[in-house]
Amino acid sequence: MPVRMIEVIAKDGLADTLAATAEQFEALEFHRGTVAENGKQIVRILARSERQQEFVDYLQKCLGADDDWRIILSPVDAIVPDPEPLQNDEKKKKAETALREELYIEIARGAKLDGTFIQLVLLSTVVAAIGLFNDNVAVIIAAMVIAPLLGPNMALAFGCALGDTELIGRAAFANLVGIILAIGGATVAGIILPDSYNGPELMSRTVIGYDAIALALVSGAAGAISITTRASSLLVGVMVAVALMPPAAATGYMLGSGRYDLAIGAGGLLMVNIVCINLSAQIVFLAKGIKPRIWIEQRAAKESTLISIAIWSILLIVLIGVIAWQNSALLPDQLTPS
């Protein structure tokens, strides 16, 4: 987590309280601005890289429950001379996770269901369907780059970590709409394109294997880690899309082609991947200590997190049982000599 410039716009009478808070958290710099005609004052605080979340939470507590104030968080790219030239390992570890408020804004934006999201889902579906039909790996990868499926899944897991029912609802709805659009668009492609079930890229998305579970778990964990540490999420978004878009496109394609038996297999793979991505992302957010600021909300969030992890885990266990049953059912046929 970088050094941050925290600007607080609040009533003039709170400046002394903010100064004491800055001193308590060993802020690097503290400056008061002039008092405006509306009685408000801008206070600038250069916060150290460690304990920033605790600092911001305490500032909000001091400012009160009303909305007559603003806190502006700005990462600082460079300071000359550097006030923190060296950090020990413990400080670096504490500085890894971005602030909750920054994460919320970024993740909630990813769950926004707008025209751009719908267009990208439809375009990526068309590209994925063409790639699967022609057994073209390069085209399939191109579809993964376009697909915007990382945002709703990370927002769903993040909302559960905070116990934010509004974010959970928006994320779940955006995810559902995205999956329905992908399956629906691929169904149209299955009706239009000639019947072809021999391509290995297409057929591999109709079989549920344990490797798919591992891929989806890694994708979800990588997505959560990339967001909380502010690392590049482009490649991680591609990983999540790899786990979701091809099986969704394969499901729709098989439905449009009338191969309902293969559509069930592709739909099962899609379900397994959704469960695994959200389960691993939820566990990462829990490990990172993502939780609300107020203790009452923390209790509700803890219950929400435990319930969601339990639900995803139960679903995963059931799906693994189905995979094991299918594999055992196929085994005698595989052992029969031709």
DSSP one-letter code for 338: -
- Say whether pLDDT at 17 is over 60: yes
Q: Is the pTM of this model over 0.75?
A: no
- Say whether pLDDT at 336 is over 60: no
| C-alpha to C-alpha distance for 32 and 15, rounded to whole angstroms | 8
Which secondary structure element, helix H or strand E, spans residue 42, and what is its range? strand 40-47
The candidate with the shortest Cα–Cα distance to 304, out of 199, 198, 108, 165, is 165
Where do the domains of the chain lie? 4-94, 100-329
CA angle 11, 25, 17 (to 5 degrees): 25
Give 34's contacts (C-beta < 8 A, 6+ positions apart). Answer: 41
Q: Domain 4-94 class? A: alpha beta
pLDDT band at 308 (very low <50, low <70, confident <90, very high): confident
Mean pLDDT comparison of 131-145, 167-181, 227-241, 256-270, highest-scoring range: 167-181
Q: What's the mean pLDDT when you consider all of the chain?
A: 81
pLDDT of residue 179: 93
Average pLDDT over residues 139-165: 85
Average pLDDT over residues 24-45: 87
| C-alpha to C-alpha distance for 277 and 155, rounded to whole angstroms | 12
φ, ψ at 256 (rounded to 5°): -65, -30
Indicate the SS3 state at residue 201.
helix
The candidate with the shortest Cα–Cα distance to 308, out of 176, 173, 172, 213, is 172
